[in-house]
Amino acid sequence: MHPEMGGKDAVKRRSLFVLITAIFLILSSCVQTAVDETALACSQNNIIVLKNCVLIDGTGASPRRSAEIMIRGGKLAKITTRGKIKVPRGSKVLDLKGAVVLPGFINAHVHRAYDSSNLQNWLNGGVTTVRDLAPLGIYDFIKARDEFNKNPKNSRIVSATPIMSVPGGYDGTDYYNSPEDARNKVLNYIDKGVDIIKFSIEDELQGRQWTLPTYEEVKSIVDTAHSGKKKVSVHIMHARNLRWAIDAGVDDVAHMVVEPVDSGTINDMIKKNIYWIPTLELIKGVSEMHSLDWDVIAADNLSKFYKAGGKIALGTDFGGYMCNFDRGFPKTEVLLMQKAGMKNMDIIVAGTKNAAIVCGLSKEIGTIEEGKKADILVVNGDPLSDIKALFNASMVIHNGTIIKK
């Protein structure tokens, strides 16, 4: 073959290759553009825009009027004022006509959460998350939590361990015999994926006696949990048993105590940043059933703690005793907190931001801020002037899904 002929053929082949490659790239670009546009259309269909509302965001900040909120993919994508959101085509736009938007409420102390009826009652009432502080009769509660949380019609479950206790200790369902044994049990729960570590420091209630843990055991539980980045909640009903919990550095006390608490103890709790969950509804029910004055003492303790600047998270102990509890929104608890002297805004913060903190979920829920999960309660009326406005949800959004409208 002549060298020049081979060269010309090579040039032609290269030119043809370049042309084919160019055509392929153009077609690929067209296909990719079509895919991108389809994906955009799909994402747009998952956008909800709330317009013309008053926003109480759960942080304690003053309400924002004429607010607009964009929800995309189950999260809060944009929060601004009227007219500043460019609404993508295909979005669901809801004019709230001046209604008040708040974060979904959190009940940070319940039992019997592993029940669809309870979870759906809570959610329809505007309680988008509950913290079960000791699963009752559930063997594999971590698996149960994950299964229940898949259903958008259920309130989100935050799972604590069964109540850890020493043999003969208060209401224990998982026992430890030494600081090392307590440490190993906590590590095992952390490995399984538990959300919260729960234990008790209780020696007597209504004439019933229980064995107390040692301080070394208490410290082992708290230190091990914190080393695994898990929060610790402790059952205590007597003021005399608070000291070990304070010194060990628990994250929250799961009940208001039912004997007068001194100012020094209150100040120590505040210095250690320990949250208190009053469960006034429980204490009121027990007091009425057994002719006790615990409800009066607990309300007075809450008042002193609140006035001193203590941090409070809302919780009722639903299902923890045989008295009656509100099955949807925690109306009784809220009214009792108000009666004890808490301002309406601080009650809202207790049921949203602070409750999210004790659940270990403050980066995800509890306040209406961009990037967080879209858990929203909408009410008609101003809960800052009338707390009862919270009791009638006109709309509930959970993980970006409209549950009640």
Annotated domain spans of the chain: 1-44, 46-104+375-405, 105-365
Which residue do the tokens 């895919």 mark? Answer: 35
Joined tokens for residue 16: 């043809």
pLDDT given for residue 180 in this prediction: 98
Q: What are phi and psi of 31, to 5 degrees?
A: -65, -45
Joined tokens for residue 316: 């009722």
pLDDT given for residue 226 in this prediction: 98
92-95 and 47-55 strand pairing: parallel
CA–CA distance, 337 with 346 (Å, rounded to integer): 10
pLDDT given for residue 137 in this prediction: 75
Mean pLDDT per block of 10 residues along the chain (405 residues) reads 41 46 42 36 68 98 97 96 86 96 98 97 98 87 96 97 94 90 98 97 89 98 98 97 98 98 98 98 97 97 98 97 95 98 98 98 98 98 98 97 91
Beta strands in 236-391 (DSSP E): 252-253, 275-276, 376-379
pLDDT given for residue 69 in this prediction: 97
pLDDT given for residue 45 in this prediction: 54
Q: Report whether 71 contacts 375 (CB < 8 A).
A: no
75-81 and 64-72 strand pairing: antiparallel
Task: Provide the terminal-to-terminal Cα distance of the chain, rounded to the nearest Å.
Answer: 82
Q: Which residues contact 98 (CB under 8 A, 6 or more apart)?
A: 52, 53, 54
Q: Which residues contact 373 (CB under 8 A, 6 or more apart)?
A: 74, 75, 76, 364, 365, 399, 400
Bridge partner residues of 130 (DSSP): 107, 157
pLDDT given for residue 17 in this prediction: 45
What fold does the segment set 105-365 form as a domain? TIM Barrel (3.20.20)
CA–CA distance, 350 with 108 (Å, rounded to integer): 10
Joined tokens for residue 393: 């949800």
Which residue do the tokens 């009425």 mark? Answer: 288
Instruction: Evaluate whether the domain defined by 46-104+375-405 bears CATH number 2.30.40.10.
Output: yes
Which residue do the tokens 């309660």 mark? Answer: 377
Which residue do the tokens 């669901």 mark? Answer: 92
